[in-house]
Amino acid sequence: MQSNYSPNPDSTEPVMSAAAITAAVTAMIALLVAFGLELSADQQAAILGVVAVVGPLVAGWWARRTAYAPATVARLLRR
């Protein structure tokens, strides 16, 4: 299957951006709980567990769409 994506020369550190978004979501949940969102300890653990699993999956998916291995770039340039 051929990909229709091409490298974005203006993109800088897309993987770091994805990691930052995951960290921001986790921090936002903690902040909401600290400022009165009533969640039990079990609910907090469940939410953070989902973020801990889904966050990296989404970040990896997003990073894969924006980051390219040198071999991929070389293959795209040979077209």
CA distance 22 to 9: 24
Cβ-based neighbours of 30, under 8 Å, separated by 6 or more: none
Q: What digits encode the pLDDT tens for the residues 37-75?
A: 888 889 888 887 888 788 778 877 877 777 767 777 788
**Model pTM score:** 0.52
